[in-house]
Each structure stands twice: as structure tokens, then as C-alpha cells.
């Protein structure tokens, strides 16, 4: 028994935790199920990363990054041309997607007034973000590759970059729109109050304030584009040679990429090519993991 400040008598056993009553048993059961489902959700990622690490990490060497893939039946070789091609195609995609995506996000956040056109853009962006990646590849294939609109060239790095940019644009637009909405309106009113134009306010005030979330979205979109395979099969195809980055012809000709190399070499009945496919998988996963960690780091910087 215990007497509190109000003179009321309470029992200590009523305040103690009773593990065997029904509600506490149910609480422990639901907590255990939630923990189990969380482990099951993360388990595929752990298994995939562990298996790729086991199969591909042992093949990492200097020659892997500096040599071309070997002809069928020969030993050695590397994936240097595919690594350069992946960076080139992703760079071309970023050149198209970042200006368009950031510009579209600025319009939605700063200029539109929730009219029908802005709603249409947001709806179209949501639909485009859910479109399968192979559709973007087929679209570029039908409009640019088969028609040879790119200076008479068919498969090319530029065509692959355009296909990947279609996949990047929705992410960049949405992150730019949401990032600019986080900027306090007082900053805009203060800039307009001292005589700054809307253009100056956006370029000098709101965009720098929202730089971190916008950069996070850009990095995430690049990470998604770098790992796509289907669009590049229809647009960039593949090449067993080095890409000539200093020549215009190198940008408008077929080019090797990591994802397509993995697809081609993994289905070959040759052990050397299969090993290169595993090594390329490890390099690609490490690249995408690094981009995602960079996005999380930018997100932490934004939250401070």
C-alpha cells in the first residue's frame, strides 16, 4: 500500500508491468511480427549484395578497368569500355534531364497557381515515373534509331542518353517542386519587398536555399538511370571497342555499357564472359550504392 500527495491510497502492484496479461502478450506478438517482416523485407537485398560480392569481388583487378573484353574463347580482358560508356550515357542523360526537370519543378513551385495546366503536369509526371523503362527505349528506338534522325546514325550513345533522360525527368521535377515548397515564403516576400524581380528571387534566394533537396533528387535519378538495361538495348546497343570521346562520331555510334554487358555476357556459355559479367555486376552495384549513399548524405546535410 502507498499514500500519494492527495491522501489517496494506491496499490503498487497496479503500477507494475504485468507481462502475462492479454494486451501485453498481444503487444509482444505484434512487435515480433513487425520485426520479422522487416527482416524478410531486407533479406533479399542482403542476399543479392552478398552473392554479388562473393561472385564478383574476387575478379576485381587493374586490368578489369583498363582492358577490353576478350574475344570468345580467350582468357583475360576487362570491362573498361563498358565503364566509360556507362559514364558517357549517364552524362548525356543528365545533360537533358537536369535542365528540363529543374525548369519544370521551378514552374510548378514558383509560377503556377494550381491551375489545370499545373495539375496536368503533375499528373503526367506521376504517370511517366511509373512507365516501364523498356517503353522509353522503344519510343527512342522508333523515333530516332529506325529513322536515323541523329545525323544519319542509328544506335548511338546520344540515343541511349535520351532514353535514360526520359526516366530521370519525373524524379528531378518532383524533387525540385517539393524542395522549393520547403523554402519559407518570408524569403520570397523579403526579396520582392526590396525590389528584386521574381527571376532574381528564384535564382538568388529560393534555388540556393533548396539546392540540397534538388541535388538529392538529381543523384537518385542518376542512380536509377545508370542501372537501366532495357532502354540501352534498343538505343545504344553494344560495342566491343573503346568509345572515342574526343570525336563526334564516338557520341553518335553504338557504345558499350555495364548493364548491357552484364546481359550479353551472362547468357553466354563461356566461363570467362560469365566471370566478367559478375565483375561488372559488382562494379555497377558499387556505383549505384555510392550514388545512393551520396543522396542520403545530402539529405542529412539538408536536415541540419
pLDDT (0 to 100) of residue 15: 63
Average pLDDT rounded to a whole number, residues 230-250: 88
pLDDT (0 to 100) of residue 5: 53
Cβ-based burial of 96 (10 A; exposed 0-12, middle 13-18, buried ≥19): middle
Q: pTM here?
A: 0.84
How does strand 2-3 pair with strand 9-10?
Answer: antiparallel
pLDDT (0 to 100) of residue 262: 94
Cα 71–chain centre separation:
33
Residue boundaries of the structural domains of the chain: 11-57, 60-303
pLDDT (0 to 100) of residue 303: 60
End-to-end CA distance of the chain: 50
* Model pLDDT for residues 269-285, shown as the tens digit of each residue: 888 999 999 999 999 99
d(CA 107, CA 125): 13
Question: 16-20, 181-185, 300-304: which range is least confident on average?
Answer: 300-304
pLDDT (0 to 100) of residue 44: 92
Average pLDDT rounded to a whole number, residues 105-130: 88
Residue 71 is given by DSSP the state P
pLDDT at 11 over 90: no
What's the pLDDT band for 97 if we cut at 50, 70, 90? very high
Question: 1-10, 207-216, 221-230, 245-254: which range is least confident on average?
Answer: 1-10
pLDDT at 99 over 90: yes
The fold of the 60-303 domain, in CATH, is: MetI-like fold (1.10.3720)
pLDDT (0 to 100) of residue 297: 83
Which range scores top for mean pLDDT: 22-26, 54-58, 103-107? 103-107
Backbone angles phi and psi of 3, in degrees to 5 = -105, 125
Average pLDDT rounded to a whole number, residues 147-174: 92
Cell of 206: 529560393
Cα 144–chain centre separation:
25
pLDDT (0 to 100) of residue 304: 63
pLDDT at 13 over 70: no
What's the pLDDT band for 81 if we cut at 50, 70, 90? very high
pLDDT at 187 over 90: no
- Pure H helices in 196-239: 198-201, 207-209, 211-226, 230-235
Percent of the chain with pLDDT over 90: 50
What's the pLDDT band for 233 if we cut at 50, 70, 90? very high
- The rounded mean pLDDT for the chain is 87
Output 150 or 281, whichever has higher pLDDT.
281
Average pLDDT rounded to a whole number, residues 235-258: 89
pLDDT at 25 over 70: yes
Question: 3-12, 35-44, 239-248, 272-281: which range is least confident on average?
Answer: 3-12
Amino acid at each position: 500500500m502507498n499514500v500519494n500527495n492527495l491522501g489517496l491510497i494506491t496499490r503498487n502492484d497496479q503500477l507494475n508491468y504485468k507481462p502475462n496479461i492479454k494486451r501485453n502478450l498481444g503487444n509482444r506478438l505484434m512487435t515480433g511480427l513487425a520485426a520479422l517482416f522487416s527482416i524478410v523485407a531486407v533479406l533479399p537485398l542482403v542476399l543479392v549484395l552478398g552473392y554479388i560480392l562473393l561472385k564478383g569481388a574476387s575478379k576485381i583487378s587493374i586490368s578489369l578497368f583498363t582492358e577490353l573484353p576478350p574475344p570468345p574463347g580467350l582468357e583475360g580482358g576487362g570491362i573498361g569500355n563498358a565503364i566509360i560508356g556507362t559514364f558517357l550515357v549517364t552524362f548525356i542523360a543528365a545533360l537533358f534531364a537536369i535542365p528540363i526537370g529543374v525548369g519544370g519543378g521551378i514552374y510548378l513551385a514558383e509560377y503556377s497557381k494550381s491551375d489545370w495546366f499545373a495539375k496536368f503536369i503533375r499528373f503526367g509526371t506521376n504517370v511517366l515515373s511509373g512507365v516501364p523503362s523498356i517503353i522509353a527505349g522503344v519510343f527512342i528506338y522508333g523515333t530516332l534509331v529506325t529513322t536515323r534522325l541523329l545525323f544519319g546514325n542509328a544506335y548511338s550513345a546520344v540515343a541511349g542518353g535520351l532514353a535514360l533522360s526520359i526516366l530521370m525527368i519525373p524524379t528531378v521535377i518532383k524533387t525540385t517542386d517539393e524542395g522549393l515548397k520547403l523554402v519559407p515564403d518570408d524569403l520570397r516576400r523579403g526579396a520582392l519587398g526590396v525590389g528584386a524581380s521574381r527571376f532574381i528571387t528564384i535564382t538568388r534566394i529560393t534555388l540556393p536555399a533548396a539546392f540540397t533537396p534538388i541535388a538529392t533528387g538529381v543523384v537518385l535519378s542518376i542512380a536509377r538511370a545508370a542501372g537501366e538495361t532495357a532502354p540501352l538495348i534498343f538505343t545504344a546497343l553494344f560495342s566491343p571497342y573503346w568509345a572515342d570521346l574526343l570525336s563526334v562520331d564516338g557520341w553518335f555510334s553504338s557504345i558499350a555499357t555495364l548493364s548491357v554487358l552484364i546481359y550479353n555476357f551472362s547468357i553466354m556459355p563461356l566461363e570467362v564472359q560469365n566471370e566478367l559479367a559478375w565483375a561488372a555486376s559488382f562494379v555497377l552495384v558499387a556505383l549505384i550504392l555510392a550514388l545512393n549513399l551520396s543522396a542520403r548524405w545530402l539529405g542529412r546535410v539538408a536536415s541540419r
